[in-house]
Amino acid sequence: MTRQKVLAALAAFAMALAAAAPAAAAAPKTFRATRAIVVDRQTGALRLPTAAEVEAVVTTLTALGQQPPETLVSSAAPGGGVTMDLAGGFAGILLARPNEDGTWETRCVFTVEEGAAFLGFVEAVQ
């Protein structure tokens, strides 16, 4: 084999490995609270969530909002349509937040960003 063919084969192999390897995990987004959404157990007053509480909520939203599009299988339906079993993904997450007057506001969200915005979380600048 000539040197050029060997280099081309190595380059193709490296590209194939890079495409097959999972992408490096991006640093997870961190958020901070800007809205009092936690009802204090002792006083009953609303307060800002702690950093640990914000992290727990974001972790839960991330887990519940997982949408596995690459694993979904579509099939042809009669009449030319396409059907797809969503396999439990793509469901909304029902969130609630307390208001100052003691009532609750609810919203169905589909992404971590939607949930964070509803709860008054903003992305923390690193």
pLDDT at 75: 87
pLDDT at 92: 83
What pTM was estimated for this model as a whole? 0.63
pLDDT at 36: 94
pLDDT at 69: 67
pLDDT at 6: 35
Q: Yes or no: say if 35 and 53 are a contact pair by the CB < 8 Å rule.
A: no
pLDDT at 27: 60
Q: Yes or no: say if 82 and 74 are a contact pair by the CB < 8 Å rule.
A: yes
**Percent share of the chain, pLDDT over 70:** 70
For 4-13, 50-59, 87-96, 109-118, which range has the lowest pLDDT when averaged over its residues? 4-13
- The SS3 of residue 32 is strand
Q: What mean pLDDT do residues 64-86 have?
A: 79
pLDDT at 5: 42
> Is the per-residue pLDDT at 8 higher than 50?
no
Task: Please give the sequence-ordered ranges of beta strands (E in DSSP) within 1-126, or none if there are none.
Answer: 31-33, 38-39, 46-47, 74-76, 82-84, 93-98, 104-109, 121-123
Q: What mean pLDDT do residues 85-97 have?
A: 80
pLDDT tens for 14-56 read 343 334 444 444 566 899 999 999 999 999 899 999 999 999 9
